[in-house]
Structure 1
Amino acid sequence: MEAEVKYKLMDVLACPICKNFPLKLKVFSEKEVERMIEGNKPLCELYCSFKDVAVKSLENAPCEECIRKEIVEGIIVCEKCGRWYPIVDEIPRMLPDGLRKKNDDIKFLREHEKYLSEDVKTKGLPFNLSQ
């Protein structure tokens, strides 16, 4: 089975370090897939990362559009502790600091610098471009 990162995943992810929820998602690239909704909507319970709002504030949830998108490259950011986690080849890499490879993370940041906030570039944990 192929790994697939969907916006819906953000409804259940919290920062593994500080447990903050919701996390912020920045998509660099995504792809369209054929998929239909089975069951009720909204699909997410608390947080719609596709619209970056709480589900309860949505008048009309965009589930039909959202479910057809898969995230190929992007970044997940915890605004509370400043940690960031890359999404590479459709896989979110949410490892603890001690298991992350600095060279790989710096390379990811440099390759995607144009998409990143200044906070991630200069203060992001565990690594950033000012180190």
Structure 2
Amino acid sequence: MKYRFMDIAACPMCKHFPLELYVIETKEYPEREDQIKALLEKYKPPLCELYCYKLQTPIGKPIKELKGGETPCHECLKIEVAIGVIYCPNCNRWYPIIDEIPRMLPDNLRKREEDLNFLRKYADKLPDKIAREGKPWNLGEEKK
């Protein structure tokens, strides 16, 4: 998943934007350097319009007006989030990123045991608000 996804991602349950990102593992693909250069020549930075995760931009302020117009687009495009969690601070739901793919499904399409296995595996790398208190399920519920 590209960090740029955070510019468009909204919670599938409550529609809140922006969401929080917790990165556990990233991957870089040096062989994509030429593609990145071509993309940045065709579409001038900033590529994100509403929210830049890397700059933590305030919503409502144009990204091109921040930090003297300099953006981390080139560095950002080099990196894929391989494993992580997207978290909604409004409804406390979390969505896993597995094999570079964000799994942003509504509660009724999620698989409880798969999600709990993910939490068990990465609980030590995630804040308690996700691992022990997050929705639709969490590790705190297992102790009950």
User: TM-score, normalised on structure 1?
Assistant: 0.90
Structure 2 gap ranges (5+): none
> What are the equivalent positions in structure 2 for 1:1-131 lying under 5 Å apart?
5-33=1-29, 34=32, 35-36=36-37, 37-38=40-41, 39-54=43-58, 55=63, 58-59=66-67, 60-131=70-141
Native 8 Å contact 2:130 2:138 kept in 1: yes
**1:52, distance to aligned residue in structure 2 (A):** 2.7
Query: Percent identity between the aligned chains?
Result: 48
Q: Name the structure with the higher helix share.
A: 2
Native 8 Å contact 1:41 1:63 kept in 2: yes
Report how many residues are paired. Answer: 127
| Greater C-alpha Rg | 2
Find the aligned partners of 2:81 and 2:87 in 1 and give their Cα distance: 15
Native 8 Å contact 1:29 1:72 kept in 2: yes
**1:56, distance to aligned residue in structure 2 (A):** 5.8
RMSD, aligned CA: 1.4
Find the aligned partners of 2:65 and 2:131 in 1 and give their Cα distance: 31
Q: Deviations over 1:69-124 (max 9, x none)?
A: 11111100000000000000111111111111111001000111122111112210
Q: Name the structure with the higher strand share.
A: 1
